Chains A and B, each alone.
Chain A
Amino acid sequence: MPATELPTWAVYAVSFGTPAAAFAGAAIGHIVTRRGATELEKRSRREQLMKTLQWAAELAISDDEAKANLGVSQLVAVTTSDLCDKDVQEFVDAALVAVLGNLPDEIETDPDAVVQPIAPARDTGDGKCVHTLEGRADRWVVMP
């Protein structure tokens, strides 16, 4: 008496198909889970990038020249990130414009004005040509 009445092809299909289908299911499940984890990680990194952008923008407009310089450097670093898209770039540009304050307007109202770069005296160690600026504690020297 035969063990089964199923045709031979059906026996093979069940024998090999069941583990193959189980493997395929597990593989697809793994791929879907992995893709979800990648998306989550990307979202987390973007969130961190936005926090860094906020921190950098706040530093960039600081009255402390060293902090402001660090902020601008951080803004540059944000733009070089692979997560920096058009939206983030717009925020960075806005922060850079904010660093300039009302300088552009001031220069446009007086086209004959000469723009003179200055640096904090403590950075250069130069005792000559020391200026004080309204609202700033630093003493400044004219840069060559």
Chain B
Amino acid sequence: MGRDAVTKKIYVTKTQVKAAQLLVERSKATGKTVRSSIAKIAGASGRSSAANSAKTRKG
């Protein structure tokens, strides 16, 4: 996906945000950890509560 080197923005599509949110919700349901970057994508659309409350790990 595209990125803006000046503003340091990484562009993600709505579908990718939706997929990340589903993965975060799934991790909450199963108790498995999800990558912090996936939680960051999931929280990019204002639905950050799911992402913030999810267990995250680095890498």
Contact = CB atoms under 8 A, between A and B. Distances in A.
Which label, helix, strand, loop or mixed, suits the secondary structure of the A interface?
Answer: helix
Contacts, number: 109
Given A103-B41, A108-B37, A108-B59, A117 B12 contact: yes
A100 B41 contact: yes
Q: Indicate the size class of the contact surface on chain A.
A: 35 or more
B59 A72 contact: no
Given A113-B10, A115-B12, A96 B23 contact: yes
Q: Which 4 A-B pairs have the closest CB atoms?
A: A104-B37, A107-B37, A99-B19, A133-B2
Interface of A: 60, 65, 68-69, 71-72, 75-76, 89, 93, 96-97, 99-101, 103-108, 110, 112-119, 131-134, 140, 142-143
